[in-house]
Structure 1
Amino acid sequence: MTAVDERRTPWRIHGMSVEGYRHRRQGRPCQDACAYTVTESVAVLAVADGAGSRPRSEEGSRLAVELATEHFARRAAVAADRRDGKAVRELLRDAFHDVRKVFLDRTGPDAPDFATTLTVVVLARGWLGHLSLGDGFVVLRAGTEDGERQFHLLPQPAAVSEYSNETVFLTSPDAARWVHTDCVSDEGVDGVLLSTDGLAQAALNRSAGGALSPNTSFVEAVFRSLDVPGPVTASAHEGLGTLLRSDRLTALNADDKTLLRAVLKARP
């Protein structure tokens, strides 16, 4: 996780990636990664899921989030006051091209061995930018209805085809074609959760028609545990690790799991 001075941001940010049951049993490393960074004007959060079939995907996921926090923060810092959706989406795509170019340059001819997804959120004054490639997802906490907090799943990239579950990676030749971007201008957003697909069964519900929506009980608890004022404690960090490795979540999905969340600090 990128080391930052969180006094520079109105957001309290915390998360981790843990190896799934399959990898623990096989003695293999976690192939997920997450990172964040903050500047005077923006915070950038990123998660990545290395392709399980590729020999160096754990390195790929770590490199992807490292580059994402650097390049998205650099692009967003000079345009933090933008709220125009078209301009924000262009910014996100430009940053993605920066990341992909450096990623491919560093990995060279062996780039397919480092295959990974990438999901990024940029938090700025008055707007939120979201870019996703692959099967990661983002849930927002924003507003109330009848006194209950409301949670919203941001749109995900379209499937490669109607009949395919194929995941597109940063190293895929047509990666730019399948990138999805969003801009949300809502002063009511006070919580953001990013995850890889290892938590999809726990964090999301699927309707009879196939539509996905946040699992309110799970995401509410995850956000609430970060709402406590002050820095994240060691016990809170250990508690999140225990949750992600719990038998309950393992029974739903034995893959690696990543959860990166940010909540708006209480204003004085």
Structure 2
Amino acid sequence: MIVSGASVAGAAHLDAGRGCEDAFRAVRTDHGVVLAVADGVGSRPRAALGAHLAVDTACRVLTAVPAPGPDADAGRWSAWTADRGARLAESCLRHARSLTGGEDAGELAAALLVALVRAPWVAFVSLGDCFAAVLTRTTGPDGRAERHERCHLVLPPPVPDGPPPAWTTSPAAPLRVRTFSLWEPELSGVVLATDGCAPLALDHPSARGLPAAAGPQPNPRFLPALAAALRRSGGAAAPLQALLAGPAAAERTGDDLTLLCALAEDGREWS
């Protein structure tokens, strides 16, 4: 398995004299790999610290209890994911209150997205406006995976006119945390990203001839090409860092950009 990630400060943040307020972390265990990305709420004075606190807490909570096995049923995976999600939301809020003395935990507000990958299962826990996609690749009768990889948006960003998202420090976070488990036998990659990456990785539905109600669609040229580049580099983050820091990203978004992924290596099983 290849695990690779990068964070880049957005042009608007740099112009304002602010550093990157995103964070990411990945932890390998004997029962899967945990991926976590967080986006500190930019209007808050300790947003960057809040993002780092969120990913550290996420990795600790999701590794504290072993995930079900690959052959476990959907009920066990859903129950485990829901339990870890509730514990994570409670832990983020408790730690933020402890650091701030309980006066204004909102200073550490962040969006948080976590995934535990134990192929063919992926468990997701989300607070805020980050998004997630998975990559799939069909395996032929000879057991070899085809070269063409497909991208599926499994957790889209919230709709602009929808209710405001709950952050890690929102009092209602334990009630509004989103959890779900995905079984995908053709899984070849899992990608988590903060909302600054949306203009690069996602297309407006009109680009597919779909109505606006269909919501954002994965850009078929972005994530599969990035996954191929990361596999060629053996997981070195240089291609990802260069892409996020490049002129195309600066033209499309001024926000911080963070992307973290776990990929099955070409011709190999998940490990």
Q: If the length of structure 2 is used for normalisation, what is the TM-score? A: 0.84
Choose which of 209, 221, 228 in structure 1 pairs with 2:225: 221
Aligned-partner SS, 1:225: helix
Q: CA deviation at 1:30?
A: 0.5
Check 1:33–1:51 CA distance in 2 against 1; reply closer, same or farther (3 A cut). same
The equivalent of 1:90 in structure 2 is 82
Q: Contact (CA 8 Å) 1:140, 1:154: kept in 2 or not? A: yes
The equivalent of 2:136 in structure 1 is 142
The equivalent of 2:97 in structure 1 is 104
Q: CA deviation at 1:47?
A: 0.4
Stretches of structure 2 lacking an aligned partner (at least 5 in a row): 140-145
Amino acid at match of 2:82: E
The equivalent of 1:118 in structure 2 is 112
Choose which of 191, 200, 206 in structure 2 pairs with 1:193: 191
The equivalent of 1:5 in structure 2 is none
Q: Contact (CA 8 Å) 1:47, 1:196: kept in 2 or not? A: yes
Q: Contact (CA 8 Å) 2:44, 2:107: kept in 1 or not? A: yes
Q: Contact (CA 8 Å) 2:23, 2:258: kept in 1 or not? A: yes
Query: 1:1-268 maps to which residues of 2 (within 5 A)?
Result: 11-75=1-65, 77=66, 79-81=68-70, 82-85=72-75, 86-100=78-92, 101-107=94-100, 108-144=102-138, 148-156=148-156, 163-164=161-162, 166-208=164-206, 209-210=211-212, 211-228=215-232, 230=234, 232-233=235-236, 237-265=237-265, 266-267=267-268
d(CA) in 2 for partners of 1:206 and 1:69? 32
d(CA) in 2 for partners of 1:25 and 1:155? 31
Amino acid at match of 2:250: T
Moved over 6 A (4+): none
Q: Contact (CA 8 Å) 2:89, 2:177: kept in 1 or not? A: no
Q: CA deviation at 1:80?
A: 4.1
Amino acid at match of 1:193: V
Q: Contact (CA 8 Å) 2:120, 2:186: kept in 1 or not? A: no
Check 1:200–1:78 CA distance in 2 against 1; reply closer, same or farther (3 A cut). closer
Check 1:78–1:120 CA distance in 2 against 1; reply closer, same or farther (3 A cut). closer
Quote the sequence identity (%).
31
d(CA) in 2 for partners of 1:157 and 1:197? 7
Q: CA deviation at 1:242?
A: 2.0
Q: Contact (CA 8 Å) 1:83, 1:185: kept in 2 or not? A: no
Aligned-partner SS, 1:227: helix
Aligned residues: 251
Aligned-partner SS, 1:93: helix
Partner deviation per Cα, 1:153-184 (whole Å, 9 max, x = no partner): 1134766xx84463321111112333221111
Q: CA deviation at 1:243?
A: 1.3
Q: Contact (CA 8 Å) 1:157, 1:178: kept in 2 or not? A: no
Check 1:217–1:51 CA distance in 2 against 1; reply closer, same or farther (3 A cut). same
d(CA) in 1 for partners of 2:119 and 2:223? 24
Aligned-partner SS, 2:104: helix
Q: If the length of structure 1 is used for normalisation, what is the TM-score? A: 0.85
d(CA) in 2 for partners of 1:202 and 1:246? 11
Q: Contact (CA 8 Å) 1:46, 1:69: kept in 2 or not? A: yes
Q: Contact (CA 8 Å) 2:57, 2:88: kept in 1 or not? A: no
Check 1:106–1:98 CA distance in 2 against 1; reply closer, same or farther (3 A cut). same
Q: CA deviation at 1:74?
A: 1.4
Check 1:157–1:151 CA distance in 2 against 1; reply closer, same or farther (3 A cut). closer
